Structure 1
């Protein structure tokens, strides 16, 4: 490993079953030949005695002897895993993944908050300006309209809503792109216990932004195409095809969720292994294979936690904004289109910035740590990480590679 965020090339530790390149334990220092054969006569289980020195008679069995090869100061339990940074270098549990994401936020809070606050503020300012000056006024809905007029007004309202979502989604896409790239670098350093500044993270992540942009665009476009295929046949049939559209939409949503989890590790693979878009998708699919439900559960729990944090932070700011902007509240109760003022937009924007500054690092941290966990389980990445961190007993890092991927 070197100082770059990319870790060892996946070619050195493939996840397709072959063992080529997976680091092997070093042979014993005194192992100059084949291991001696065991004697056919062995002591009964549980009656081993500790070694005796010259002139000492064997003593009674000691507690802890006979249960295993390694012990922290004795025999009987495996040694604790090395932990140079925010996670222990071994397969992780869900609690350790969440704790590692939060620990990264605590350990590198200046860099992490520098990334998230900057991106969130710029995104919120752009969203407010677009909403106030570029988007058309939403169409009004007449409560006394006939059924035909009400249907037409509803369609117009839906089109206006979709048009309004376009700029917001684009801004969110750019913000997510930047935070994902920068936070992936920060988290990769925190695993090794190394400090990283915002300038260093930007320098490492900048070459990967074009590829990450392609990946970020490809996934929602693919999801939209799948949804279109699911609902289009029923929509073409007309009124009798409503049920078909509903069933097709549900099937499309199922496929989209399956693909989202299958490709959920593509972004850290792309940034850390310095791969192309398609190669990163293939890497993610290989790493997720056999662990889909586990990754789905952890991802769903992370989304739920992020949603709860957003609600806890956003609700007080929204209440304050409503209290300051009385016009918007009255519009809600009269059935008209709310015309929120600057005060409402600014106050709710501040709440969004604070919530994003907390939830972005946790979500990105969970994704990167899931990627690392899968590579530890499949490719013995923990040994390469220990070498890269400079831990004693693991040798030196291989030249030209940082053991997480590229």
Structure 2
């Protein structure tokens, strides 16, 4: 007997040998009584022309009617309460008051959407969503939506952090450009009259200014990343996240986060050095200039490819260090393990996030640049960077305001996508959704079972 839902109804039996499908009785019916699998009929009726005789003792009407469209099946079990039968509730007014017909369609009993076991079946239960994302594998749109939802739900904390960071970075940039770059630009090299001392001074001050901006930006971005990672992890569980709580959770990991970024920077420098060294050596040895230049270009391209591969491979090292409280090397190893086999997916999401954040930032910053050029009287050459003349403070300040707003809006999205992508990879590989459901206090962990993944 096959009692698997969707294949046969409970109580059905295989047809005896010699019986054709759809026959209502055995091939050689008895002269005095019906076959073992044949339901008794009412007196005075014929049985599809077979001419069989009927027993004189018949059961009361309405007790042995088989489900419609299933001849030859054994009688159903005793009546159950409405909505709990095999194939649906009792049909009022049906033949003999029996059970209604089983659901039709290619699936038979258990066909989706037909109430296979007395209730509707529409797929797995919806995933629990205690916070900004459902606890199941996420699609690309859900990752981006979770990052935006975190910023919208905890906007005071998130925008406060990103505004502080952006204000620090943009103020430093304006001061360095206004105090150093303007002096450097006055020593113009367009006429070719600049002395060697002026050229070296220009180079030195440019490096100093760029270094100051890079250090300030790195410090601010590291602190912001640490705080936003903590806030996003709390938002997944639906817990409130204040600035003080985020700082208490993140401050012990900030030094290791600096170490991680410093190590990644050293790896990048080493890769670039290895890629460009052969070409530099050929050029320095006085060999063919064409061969040396070609080798240098190939080395640079190879170094860029390796750097891109390493960048994506260690893309999840920051959230692994912050949320798993791992060491520097262990967090890099964890990121490589999570990205393994999903490199192109992580690369695509990271690239899409980069494009979205840069487009949003440009849409905000570019109008401010035009406004600053119009207010300050600086020409379009200064705006586009094609002239080396003096740039007014009004232009720098107005342009800085646009960059400040753009960074404030996009920094939380970038950090949020990184954290949610890390959580998504752990859900896919390590069933982290069950742990998150327990941590969030979800009563029924089954509601966190993975469901459909749109857009992945």
TM-score normalized by the length of structure 1: 0.78
The question of whether the paired residues in 2 share the 8 Å contact of 1:66 and 1:76 is answered with no
Q: Higher helix share goes to which structure?
A: 1
How far apart, in 2, do the equivalents of 1:70 and 1:159 lie? 78
Q: Please report how far the alpha carbon of residue 237 of structure 1 lies from its aligned counterpart in structure 2 after TM superposition.
A: 2.3
Pairing partner for 1:209 from 237, 248, 254: 254
- Give runs of aligned pairs for residues 379-390 of structure 1, distance below 5 A: 379-390=430-441
Give the aligned partner of residue 319 of structure 1. Answer: 370
The question of whether the paired residues in 1 share the 8 Å contact of 2:172 and 2:216 is answered with yes
Give the aligned partner of residue 41 of structure 1. Answer: 2
How far apart, in 2, do the equivalents of 1:197 and 1:277 lie? 27
The question of whether the paired residues in 2 share the 8 Å contact of 1:332 and 1:338 is answered with no
Is the alpha carbon distance of 1:242 and 1:154 closer, same or farther for their aligned partners in structure 2, counting shifts above 3 Å? farther
Q: Please report how far the alpha carbon of residue 164 of structure 1 lies from its aligned counterpart in structure 2 after TM superposition.
A: 3.4
Q: Please report how far the alpha carbon of residue 279 of structure 1 lies from its aligned counterpart in structure 2 after TM superposition.
A: 0.5
Q: Please report how far the alpha carbon of residue 185 of structure 1 lies from its aligned counterpart in structure 2 after TM superposition.
A: 0.7
Instruction: Show CA shifts across 1:377-404 (max 9, x none).
Output: 0000001111111111239xxxxxxxxx
Q: Please report how far the alpha carbon of residue 177 of structure 1 lies from its aligned counterpart in structure 2 after TM superposition.
A: 0.2
Q: What are structure 1's unaligned runs of at least 5 residues? A: 1-39, 396-406
Q: Please report how far the alpha carbon of residue 191 of structure 1 lies from its aligned counterpart in structure 2 after TM superposition.
A: 0.6
How far apart, in 1, do the equivalents of 2:385 and 2:120 lie? 76
How far apart, in 2, do the equivalents of 1:272 and 1:326 lie? 50
Give the length in aligned residue pairs: 353
The question of whether the paired residues in 1 share the 8 Å contact of 2:176 and 2:209 is answered with no
Does the residue aligned with 1:305 lie in a helix, a strand or coil? helix
Does the residue aligned with 1:53 lie in a helix, a strand or coil? coil
Larger radius of gyration: 2
Give the alignment's Cα RMSD to 1 decimal. 3.3
Give the aligned partner of residue 66 of structure 1. Answer: 110
Give the aligned partner of residue 243 of structure 2. Answer: 198
Q: Please report how far the alpha carbon of residue 352 of structure 1 lies from its aligned counterpart in structure 2 after TM superposition.
A: 1.2
Moved more, 234-243 or 106-115: 234-243
Q: Please report how far the alpha carbon of residue 136 of structure 1 lies from its aligned counterpart in structure 2 after TM superposition.
A: 8.1
Q: Please report how far the alpha carbon of residue 220 of structure 1 lies from its aligned counterpart in structure 2 after TM superposition.
A: 2.1
Pairing partner for 1:266 from 307, 314, 317: 317
The question of whether the paired residues in 1 share the 8 Å contact of 2:372 and 2:398 is answered with yes
How far apart, in 1, do the equivalents of 2:357 and 2:129 lie? 27
Moved more, 114-123 or 272-281: 114-123
Q: Please report how far the alpha carbon of residue 296 of structure 1 lies from its aligned counterpart in structure 2 after TM superposition.
A: 0.2
- Give runs of aligned pairs for residues 74-223 of structure 1, distance below 5 A: 74-133=120-179, 137-138=183-184, 140-145=187-192, 161-223=206-268
Q: Please report how far the alpha carbon of residue 342 of structure 1 lies from its aligned counterpart in structure 2 after TM superposition.
A: 2.0
Q: Please report how far the alpha carbon of residue 66 of structure 1 lies from its aligned counterpart in structure 2 after TM superposition.
A: 1.1
The question of whether the paired residues in 2 share the 8 Å contact of 1:70 and 1:76 is answered with no
Moved more, 343-352 or 40-49: 40-49
Is the alpha carbon distance of 1:153 and 1:226 closer, same or farther for their aligned partners in structure 2, counting shifts above 3 Å? farther
Is the alpha carbon distance of 1:331 and 1:262 closer, same or farther for their aligned partners in structure 2, counting shifts above 3 Å? closer
